[in-house]
Amino acid sequence: MINVDKKEIYRYLGYRRNMPDAEVLRTVDYCLGELQREITPRFVYRQYPVESVFTMPGMQSHDTGISLRTEKGAGISSDRKKGPQIPLLRIAGMEIRSLSLSRNLRGCENVYLMAATLGLGPDRLIARASVTHMSRAVILQAAAAAMIESWCDEVNQRIIDEAASQGLYCRPRFSPGYGDFPLEYQQDFAQILRMQKEIGVSLTESCLMMPSKSVTAVIGITKEKQGCVLHGCEVCENSSECAFSRNGV
Amino acid sequence: MTEKGTGKVRRPLLERLGKEWLFFDGGTGTILQEKGLKGGELPERWNLSRPEDIIDLHCGYLKAGCDIFNTNTFGANSLKFSRENGELKQIVEAAVALAKEARRRTDREDAYIALDIGPTGRLLEPLGDLSFERAVEIFGEVVRIGAAAGADLVLIETMSDSYESKAAVLAAKENCDLPVLITNVYDSSGKLLTGGTVDSTVALLEGLRVDGLGVNCGMGPEQMIPIVQRMVETASVPILVNPNAGLPRAENGRTVYDVGPETFADWMKKIAGMGVQAVGGCCGTTPEHIRRTVQAVRGTACLPGEPGKAAEVAGGSGAETAAERGVPFVPNTRKGRTVVSSFSRAVEIGKKPVIIGERINPTGKKKFKQALRDNDIEYILSEGLNQEESGAHILDVNVGLPEIDEPQMMAEVVSRLQSILPLPLQIDTSDPAAMERGMRLYNGKPMVNSVNGKKESMEAVFPLVRKYGGVVVGLVLDEDGIPETADGRMAIAKKIYETADRYGVPREDIVIDGLAMTISSDTKGALTTLETLRRVRDELDGHTILGVSNISFGLPQRSVINAHFLTMAMQMGLSCAIMNPGNEDMMCAYRAFLALSDMDPQCMGYIEAYANAQRTTVTAAAKAGSGSSAAGPSDKTGTSPGGTSAEGTAGGPALPDSAGMSLGDSIRRGMSKSAADAARVLLEAGTPALRLINEELIPALDYVGKGFEKGTIFLPQLLMSAEAAKAAFEVVKESMQDEKQETKGRIILATVKGDIHDIGKNIVKVMLENYSFEIIDLGKDVAPETIVETAIRENISLVGLSALMTTTVVSMEDTIRLLREKKPDTKVVVGGAVMTQEYADSIGADCYAPDAMATVHFAEEVFARSDHTAS
């Protein structure tokens, strides 16, 4: 049972400030019930040291077998963010050149890598509803999206508690695909966290996670006290353009 | 007890597996990490770059006393290593060579080299993007290399998905003659990560004739106990258990496992005593874990070479004599259960009667035939969903029609059905090619309908059942036709059992069809059939099946006869009823029979079904047309998207009372059932279909569409209205029967290559269909070539493409480029989460549609324009 904020579901459905009508509200409840029955929430996280070094972009470094990836996959927003002084981050064998991630992790010596999923249940329910009740498929989609966020918050909270027990604080979680942190790093997450073995998450050829309601993230830990840390979307540089951003609410 | 350590002769594995204790090796990753393997490094590369370390790893386990050890090939496949430059072949060949070298150095020539095969890391279609046949090919390649290099067996392990497990087992069986063992990863809820249970997985794997099966990874020995328990209860082949050294924990960026060798061995001793036949370890276990386990299970008395260890093993428990004795070996027993399975569910036949839904079958159904011709898979799927909601346990799938490619259609329908439904399927065809395609692609152990006593039929069907597994329906007819007596039918049943046995198909995998034939032509027919059922049960200890409603063919009020015959047949031991679960009279008979036969604990099933029901009399029901023939009733629920009674029983959102609401209001408020009812009332009152469409339906749709664009109506309501309109359209279409349906134009929709999220495309599809466009839905992850070829072949003037991720917009661009080159007159409309006008322009699309209504407007524009040009 994962607690879901229904307002989030309405927001994903595009209602903005409006309240859905009774029929939609009823269907949202029905879909939430179906999802709660069919989900198999799982997670994995582990802590790794992070190292930040300044090198020139494009320089090949060390023999970890992982090639340096910078712009590939960052898509349309990559070029406007490129600066000359982007530090290279080394985490668990990954080498990441991302301005937004390095900003997020500034001053951190350690990070958690996490992955969380609701399992294939939501994907099956959505595929099934798409055959006969497209309206229900759309509501399931929104409800499952809100649910994976809540699940990530729960997992994130465990990490926050674990860090707190060592007198440390967490940064907001940051996922591949946010800002200029390329989506291709999903492959490294998959390998480092053994995501398929441990939580049943695999990647498609184009680095999409399956089950689709899955999230990976980096969570920096630091000695400085942090403000609101449970919300990934505030740190995303696309949030002003994103249809699902909380900023407009 | 064994000759291990005395002689160095390697006896064939199958002479020992399941007949004496055998031990697997332990973890690889943890040990290689200690030797310096880095986080992102592929361990299989070490076969070439650090061979001594790999030999050393093997030697550790061989010295510890394991009998079966794994090559370092877990992730060696062509998705990770290049086939073209020969790297894959080198790595796998080196792996086997290093294992041989370790065997030589330790003087353990009696040990078996297992070609280790792990998952591909990808999810199979249709939920994922790796096709089943491609997976078989990927595994097959590794098997060929490994077998040629001299592996002694194939060990498929750490499989978290039943479908991928099937692909790997088939690949192993098709590419070598070595024994094939498999272990799956279960979680603490006792399921595979993709949903399979122990029962469903055992059914699938034993059907594929694996030589041993079990569980590995995922958990420590303690957590595995409930899974092992269920395996011992269900499996007949040797059971293998290879746990982790406890649950993983992170420490300074490394994964560590806390269960030490002694504790591990204690647990393994307990597990061995539960009735398993081979044990070993997985992640976090070391040679010491294995050595202790071997000692604990085999007993120290006969452990060669290490006489002083007995006291140490016994530890503080003080059970020295028990340690010397070890655990007595008990071979597994044949369970003889009749089980079919889906990806997540096992259905046992023979305990209580099961209902096999018969509605996915074109016989006598005009609409279904048309759906097959039009490749309208969704109609077929909705027939499946309706039957599940009505209470079917298994679905019969028959898609045979002379003018279609039946093997292809069978493949598609089976793939789609099994991705959305947990019910096991019954592959129903007389075409062996279609039967094989269906059985091969099926994610589980299917029912197969059917074989009969003819030599030709048995020769075609039994080898397929032997290879793919399945419970096969045996019809009691042969070259001489259908025997008129129960004696004659029994003789054929016996012949079927005997022949099956010769093909290696066990008797529990046969159900005998006693053949229900209409009593209108022979009034003794039912008695002969019933007597056959009874005798199969009593004399052959077998299971039976009937196509129940055949009994009443040609009679009035068929469901009266059908329901009573069903009761009589179940009383005579009928195990499976092929019937329409939407037929309420038959369902009443079924539920009442269970309640009366002590098969419905506390009558809960019966009470749940009828506590709030207002039962109409059979006569009244028949008058209302609810059971006049097997082909009748479900048609009206078949495509109605909401608010049917079937939906109500499944707990769908209840619709408010909407009696008397106008068609327009029903659509505006998104109420499918009342929209359909209102349309029916209008038609019955003589309203011409066209007027109904133009004056009620279209204005209501436009109202909702405009509201959506203004931001006063939101996506869920828009779609509910679309569904209501569709329900009304269906009623209108039925009334128009043979009149040609007008469409405004034909449009291809596809989610582009690399993208497997298709919800946006499906929304657009619903809306376009509402506005009378005909959609060719190519699905998701569609290659540019497929889209372009279809556009050319079907002469399509508009293609709609959807992409969710920036990474897949590249495929969209490729598709547009290819389309411009090969079919420049086709327009392209694009949409999807990452799409913008600017982006659409830059990849050369004709239109960017921010939402479904925008696509509708562009489509109307395109086809208005082309009409204009044409005239």
A97-145, pLDDT tens digit by residue?
A: 888 888 888 888 899 999 999 999 999 999 999 988 999 999 999 999 9
CB of B754 closer than 8 Å to CB of A205:
yes
In sequence order, the 6+-apart residues with CB closer than 8 A to the CB of B370 are B376
Is A46 in contact with B385 (Cβ distance < 8 A)? no
**Distance (Å, rounded) from C-alpha A1 to C-alpha A147?**
10
Is A134 in contact with B252 (Cβ distance < 8 A)? no
Q: What is the predicted pLDDT for the residue at B733?
A: 81
Choose from B193, B242, B647, B839 for mutation: most chain A CBs within 10 A.
B193
CB of B645 closer than 8 Å to CB of B676:
no
Instruction: Work out the minimum CA distance from A212 to partner chain B, whole angstroms.
Output: 8
- B residues 671-690 near A, CB within 8 Å? 671
In sequence order, the 6+-apart residues with CB closer than 8 A to the CB of B366 are none
Residue A175 lies in a domain: yes
| CA-closest candidate to residue B282, choices B247, B252, B243, B255 | B243
Is B806 in contact with A73 (Cβ distance < 8 A)? yes
Mean pLDDT estimate for chain A: 81
**Distance (Å, rounded) from C-alpha B77 to C-alpha B79?**
5
CB of B195 closer than 8 Å to CB of B184:
no
ipTM of the complex: 0.83
Query: Is B642 an interface residue toward A (CB < 8 Å)?
Result: yes
**Distance (Å, rounded) from C-alpha B271 to C-alpha B297?**
9
Closest Cβ–Cβ partner in B41, B194, B255 for A200: B194
Identify the DSSP state of B243: -
CB of B135 closer than 8 Å to CB of B164:
yes
| CA-closest candidate to residue B270, choices B288, B243, B248, B251 | B243
- Count of C-beta atoms within a 10 Å radius of residue B795: 10
CB of B455 closer than 8 Å to CB of B499:
no
What are the phi and psi torsion angles at B346 (to 5°)?
-110, 140
- What SS3 class is residue B161? coil
Instruction: Work out the minimum CA distance from B638 to partner chain A, whole angstroms.
Output: 10
Residue A91 lies in a domain: yes
A-chain CB neighbours of B253 within 8 Å are: 46-49, 92
Query: Residues A65, A70, A76, CA angle at the centre, nearest 5°?
Result: 145
A-chain CB neighbours of B707 within 8 Å are: none
**Distance (Å, rounded) from C-alpha B102 to C-alpha B147?**
18
B-chain CB neighbours of A205 within 8 Å are: 122, 129, 754
Query: Is B421 an interface residue toward A (CB < 8 Å)?
Result: yes
Highest-confidence segment of B25-29, B537-541, B850-854 = B537-541
Per-residue pLDDT averaged across B791-815, rounded? 89
Lowest pLDDT segment from B233-237, B638-642, B860-864: B638-642
Residue A247 has pLDDT above 80, yes or no: no
Residue A18 lies in a domain: no
Is B766 in contact with A203 (Cβ distance < 8 A)? no
Instruction: Provide the sign of the torsion angle of the four alpha carbons B485, B488, B492, B497, taken in this order.
Output: positive
Residue A146 has pLDDT above 90, yes or no: yes
Query: Residues A149, A152, A158, CA angle at the centre, nearest 5°?
Result: 150
B-chain CB neighbours of A200 within 8 Å are: 160-161, 193-194
pLDDT single digits (tens) B78-125: 999 998 899 999 999 999 999 999 999 999 999 999 999 999 989 998
Is A127 in contact with B719 (Cβ distance < 8 A)? no
Query: Is B650 an interface residue toward A (CB < 8 Å)?
Result: no
Query: Which residue in chain B is spatially nearest to A45 when comparing CA positions?
Result: B250
pLDDT single digits (tens) B634-660: 333 333 333 333 333 333 444 444 457
Query: Which residue in chain A is spatially nearest to B850 when comparing CA positions?
Result: A243
Residue A66 lies in a domain: yes
Choose from B714, B764, B782 for mutation: most chain A CBs within 10 A.
B714
Instruction: Work out the minimum CA distance from A64 to partner chain B, whole angstroms.
Output: 7
CB of B492 closer than 8 Å to CB of B453:
yes
Alpha helices in B685-714 (DSSP H): 689-692, 698-710
Tokens of A82: 């490129």
More confident site: B577 or B669: B577
Is B714 in contact with A20 (Cβ distance < 8 A)? yes
Integer angstrom CA distances of residue B134 from B409, B412, B787, B788? 19, 16, 21, 23
Integer angstrom CA distances of residue A7 from A11, A210, B37? 6, 26, 47
Tokens of B803: 């992409």
Lowest pLDDT segment from B46-60, B68-82, B794-808: B794-808
Is A200 in contact with B717 (Cβ distance < 8 A)? no
Give the domain extent around A163.
41-117+147-248
| CA-closest candidate to residue B471, choices B428, B418, B511 | B511
A-chain CB neighbours of B722 within 8 Å are: 134-135
Integer angstrom CA distances of residue B402 from B406, B610, B783? 8, 42, 30
Residue A130 lies in a domain: no
Instruction: Work out the minimum CA distance from B438 to partner chain A, whole angstroms.
Output: 20
Query: Which residue in chain A is spatially nearest to B763 when comparing CA positions?
Result: A134
B38: exposed, middle or buried (C-beta count within 10 Å: 0-12, 13-18, 19+)?
middle
Query: Which residue in chain A is spatially nearest to B669 when comparing CA positions?
Result: A23
Is A47 in contact with B723 (Cβ distance < 8 A)? no
Is A47 in contact with B252 (Cβ distance < 8 A)? yes
CB of B335 closer than 8 Å to CB of B235:
yes
The answer, as to whether pTM is greater than 0.80, is yes
Residue B541 has pLDDT above 70, yes or no: yes
Residue B4 has pLDDT above 50, yes or no: no
Q: CB-side exposure of B133: number of CA atoms within 13 Å?
A: 6
Instruction: Work out the minimum CA distance from B55 to partner chain A, whole angstroms.
Output: 23
Confidence of residue A207 (pLDDT cuts 50, 70, 90): confident
Choose from A175, A206, A207, A214 for mutation: most chain B CBs within 10 A.
A206
Closest Cβ–Cβ partner in B40, B807, B834 for A207: B807
Residue B689 has pLDDT above 50, yes or no: yes
Closest Cβ–Cβ partner in A29, A132, A196 for B382: A132
pLDDT single digits (tens) B543-572: 999 999 999 999 999 999 999 999 999 999
CATH classification of the domain holding A229: 3.40.109
Domain count, chain A: 1
Q: Is B218 left (phi over 0), alpha (psi -120 to 50) or beta?
A: left
| CA-closest candidate to residue B497, choices B510, B488, B486 | B510
Per-residue pLDDT averaged across B777-787, rounded? 92
Is B759 in contact with A141 (Cβ distance < 8 A)? yes
The residues with which B510 forms a beta bridge, in sequence order, are B472
Is B378 in contact with A131 (Cβ distance < 8 A)? yes
B-chain CB neighbours of A199 within 8 Å are: 193
Query: Is B32 an interface residue toward A (CB < 8 Å)?
Result: no
Residue B683 has pLDDT above 70, yes or no: yes
Q: Look at the block and give the residue holding tokens 């630091």.
A: A222
SS3 readout for B600-622: CHHHHHHHHHHCCCCCCCHHHHH
**Distance (Å, rounded) from C-alpha B638 to C-alpha B381?**
10
Query: Is B648 an interface residue toward A (CB < 8 Å)?
Result: no
CB of B339 closer than 8 Å to CB of B199:
yes
CB of A117 closer than 8 Å to CB of A201:
yes
Q: What is the predicted pLDDT for the residue at A84?
A: 55
**Distance (Å, rounded) from C-alpha A143 to C-alpha A135?**
12
Query: Which residue in chain B is spatially nearest to A14 when comparing CA positions?
Result: B714
Q: Look at the block and give the residue holding tokens 């589980």.
A: B444
Query: Which residue in chain A is spatially nearest to B418 when comparing CA positions?
Result: A124
Is B762 in contact with A137 (Cβ distance < 8 A)? yes
More confident site: B305 or B377: B377
Instruction: Work out the minimum CA distance from A63 to partner chain B, whole angstroms.
Output: 10
**Distance (Å, rounded) from C-alpha A123 to C-alpha B123?**
13
Query: Is B375 an interface residue toward A (CB < 8 Å)?
Result: no
A-chain CB neighbours of B189 within 8 Å are: 40
Per-residue pLDDT averaged across B417-441, rounded? 96
Is B807 in contact with A183 (Cβ distance < 8 A)? yes
Instruction: Work out the minimum CA distance from B395 to partner chain A, whole angstroms.
Output: 16
Residue A184 lies in a domain: yes
B189: exposed, middle or buried (C-beta count within 10 Å: 0-12, 13-18, 19+)?
exposed
CA B360 from centre of chain: 17
Residue A229 lies in a domain: yes
Q: What is the predicted pLDDT for the residue at B96?
A: 98
Q: What is the predicted pLDDT for the residue at A228?
A: 54
The amino acid at B40:
G
Mean pLDDT estimate for chain B: 89
Identify the DSSP state of A185: G
Is B129 in contact with A15 (Cβ distance < 8 A)? no
Residue B315 has pLDDT above 90, yes or no: no
Confidence of residue B833 (pLDDT cuts 50, 70, 90): confident
Residue A68 has pLDDT above 70, yes or no: no
Residue B312 has pLDDT above 70, yes or no: no
pLDDT single digits (tens) B480-523: 999 999 999 999 999 999 999 999 999 999 999 999 999 999 99
Q: Look at the block and give the residue holding tokens 């059979």.
A: B618
Closest Cβ–Cβ partner in B652, B654, B805 for A206: B805
Residue A31 lies in a domain: no
Query: Is B752 an interface residue toward A (CB < 8 Å)?
Result: no
Chains A, B: CB contacts within 8 A come to 197
Residue B705 has pLDDT above 60, yes or no: yes
The amino acid at B69:
F
**Distance (Å, rounded) from C-alpha B90 to C-alpha B98?**
12
Query: Which residue in chain B is spatially nearest to A49 when comparing CA positions?
Result: B253
Q: What is the predicted pLDDT for the residue at A52?
A: 85
Choose from B807, B811, B841, B843 for mutation: most chain A CBs within 10 A.
B807
